[in-house]
Structure 1
Amino acid sequence: MTIVYDSDITLTLRGVSDPIGLPYTVNPLELVDREGLLEIREGSIGDPGPQGDPAWPWQWMGDLADLAALQALGLGEAHARRAWRLLDENSVILWTGLEFVRFTVAFQHAGRQGPPNVLSGVATIGTPGSTATAVITGTPPNQVLEVQFPRGATGVAGDPGEPGAISDAEDVGDLTAARQGAVLAWHTATSEWLPIPAPRLGGPWAIAGSQFTGGSNLSQSPKTIATMTIPAQPIPWRPIVLSGSIGLQAHVSTVGESRPDVEIRLGAADGPLIGFGFGWAAANHTQTQFFPRWDAPNSPASTQATVGANQTAQIYVIVRRVGAKNYSVITTGAQLIIGAQPMEGQP
């Protein structure tokens, strides 16, 4: 072998593409001083190499117009691993903390397929004469297509419809709590019609003759002569004495000397007064009439002498002697009738 150059040199190999496909017969070698350049025809693309180490994490900073705009940021070591896209060359520039690394083919290949976008729609009506619009809002994969259509001109009135259910009216509230016989009343607080008990009296309930206890020449005072049980009602209510009477006789020698009065009370013999019968201070047998009466001023909203919802009511009829003379109770033709007045504003 003939030695033509006996010295160490730096050899650079450069691949040369062959667009025609002819084999090289000569591989040129150019030697300048101690550096050599050898051109060799490129071969076919080989198989993918082994998986490399994970890349450094990037902090994506968005788009910039060009490299001059990036250099104007005055980056230092604190800004390492930040990356931008340069719009003028469509490349990615990574700042290592010391220098820029350019990736010129970052946007030239399709990326992996992302998750499917779930697009839902919302339609609204705009004012008459407005322009139709369509806007997509939100972030993929969950976005909303908002479409607004202009409202058309008002048409002619249609034919009268069929009568609808009152419960379907817009200003009628929840009727699930309504009971048999309820009526609708306007509630200012909710601006709705809501069910309330009918204002008519409930009942009536009555006792008569044999359900009263009579007696002659009695001195006990007070003395219970009858009781009445009224079943529980689904709403709060007030007992009202509708009518009734009983025979009474005062054993007196002079008019006004003594008299027996009748008291009708709720819940107990000494409970709230709901009715009264004024006795006569006379020796003759008289029929004492019953009428409503309360211990204090009353009003529709008052809770005086009332019964709660789902509670049984007990009514007591007593005789109270005013004076010192005895009296007699005659039950023939006696009767007491009680009604139930719903409390005002109760559902």
Structure 2
Amino acid sequence: MTNVAIIGGSGYGAAELVRLLHIHPYAKLTAIISHSKQGTDFSTVYPHMNQIADQTMEQLDVKKLSETIDLVFFATPSNVSKTIIPDFLASGITCIDLSGDFRLHSPAVYQQWYQAEAAAEEYLHQAVYGLSEINAASVRSAKLIANPGCYPTAALLGLIPVTEKELIEPNSIIIDGKTGVSGAGRSLSQHVHFAEMNENVKAYKLGSHKHIPEIEQALQEYIAADIQLTFTPHIVPMTRGIMVTCYAKLTENITTAQIETIYHTFYQQHPFVRVRADGEVPTTKEVYGSNYCDIAIHVDERTNRLTIISVIDNLVKGAAGQAIQNMNISNGWDQTTGLQHAPIYP
């Protein structure tokens, strides 16, 4: 049995980790750490967990915690984990970070987009980008796993198969993203207040979203030049879910059926990516509460443009579910262990 802890225990990501770890056969949740809620029972913050998680949230004591755990999940905001993770790594503890502190390789790029000092460069180089379907070989031997962001997970799983084949012009990529309000976290904020958000759709962070360099960095591993893409996120009046619609100019004449074959081949060994049949367009409801990513492909032969639609649950495949998938890979367990939930529908 692998003993695990969660740091940052009061947010939605932590709640999903607790829910999923509850049925995991090989992982035991031994501690939940929260700076803001220390001394509070987890089930007081999340009453629906009152028969699942009976832990009292604790103050962080790295030395004490390191003596009892094998792996720690960081469900913290940005600019928190980078100061704590080095101490856990020094004790041999595997760290899976759900924040953005270790996703970007370049300290200068991190500082530009996050407006904060980056983690020490040695740890940025040590971190493995945990896009489970793509980087499993590296995740297996990693002690520091940078869990991808929610938008990048959906976008990259949609874009990488054709980027690898050089079937799209990289600088023609446009990504239209839509997320539910849980993506903004649990903290109170006017822009997700019911009266502000209900019956409303908002574009935000035009040209400045932190996930832009993350997506570009991952795609640049497949091409020989720098890439600059356009990403516009929107928040929509639903609780959870992400849909990204990616557009790109094709480099050759090819049919929808031919590209679908490429995707089916690429993901045939990856049970959490489901490539939909021609004419089927996935919806966020069809992956709700699950670790699935559903993808649809369409070639517009008139314009020679490719449209890719990719949907995930932002709190599962976009956060806690992929983190547990990475834990499974790291420990040599089947990737689907503890994650075999059918989507909740309707």
Which TM-score applies when normalising by structure 2?
A: 0.17
- Normalized per residue, which structure has more helix? 2
The structure that has the greater radius of gyration is 1
TM-score by length of 1: 0.17
| Higher relative strand content | 1
Higher RCO, 1 or 2 (CA under 8 Å, sep at least 6)? 2
